[in-house]
Amino acid sequence: MSASVQIIGSYLSPYVRKVLVTLGIKGIPYEIDPIVGFMGDDRFRELSPLRRIPVLIDEDVTLADSSVICQYLDDRYPSPSIYPADIADRARARWLEEFADTRMGDVLIWRLFYQKVVLPHVFGRISDEAVVERTLSEELPQVLDYLETVAPREGFAFGSLSIADISVATHFRNAAFLRISIDATRWPKTAGWIERVLATEQFAALVPFEKVSMRTLPKQHREVLTQLGAPLWSTSHAAEAARPGIMPI
């Protein structure tokens, strides 16, 4: 068993979840400082130059960005690997990770979750319903149309659970928080695939922490997560007030 690593980032972030599922697959214990990226203090900015979550600290190694972190974890703790053995499949899996991180992040996080949850609950601002409507009627179906061309009919994308399955499925937890589900009559392969991935023990183990975080404001996350027995890190990087990120959204 490896020594515990520290993670900075909320259980509600799809990118943090990607890292936590990877840690779960590898059996690496972690301690977590469950902050929302926008609530990070000056020390957080030093650890995460883009002021984004997740951050991983493993002894003298500090990394930001979920893809960099997952690759590091696989290099340092190789078994079981989250990357397919075959070189071509490994590249295909990385492409799906990139599609998920970038395009699904744009659509499901920045135009839906950000609008419906972050704006009102972190910044106290109202959401732009026109953006939400357009995303639901045009952009999300385009994402699902593409996923349907790559979704496996059974099992996972490349045999055992890999970075491709994790990166894509993690966004559908955030969709579920917004009560958005995949229409299985229109996208049957994708609906089945995501259901199988989210049913794995590594995703399922995080659900109680996600639910309680969704029900409370960011300032209360530490307290409610403590009550649920989440593996909290005693150090907090939370600032008093939220501030806009430094990256364009």
Ligand X SMILES: N[C@@H](CCC(=O)N[C@@H](CS)C(=O)NCC(=O)O)C(=O)O
Site for ligand X, rule CB under 6 A: 13-15, 37-38, 51-54, 65-67, 101, 109, 245, 247
Q: In terms of CB distance, is 51 or 189 closer to ligand X?
A: 51
61-64, strands of its sheet edge to edge = 30-33, 5-8, 55-58, 61-64
Closer Cβ to ligand X, 103 or 189, answer by number: 103
We find the least distance from the C-beta atom of residue 93 to ligand X, in angstroms, to be 15
Residue 55 CB, nearest approach to ligand X (Å): 9
The residue nearest ligand X at its CB is 245
Nearer to ligand X, 54 or 84 (CB): 54
CB of 66 to ligand X, least distance (A): 4
User: Which residue, 155 or 245, is less far from ligand X as judged by CB?
Assistant: 245
Q: To the nearest whole angstrom, how small is the minimum distance from the Cβ of residue 123 to ligand X?
A: 11
**Min CB(157)–ligand X separation in Å:** 19
- Nearer to ligand X by Cβ, of 53 and 212: the residue is 53
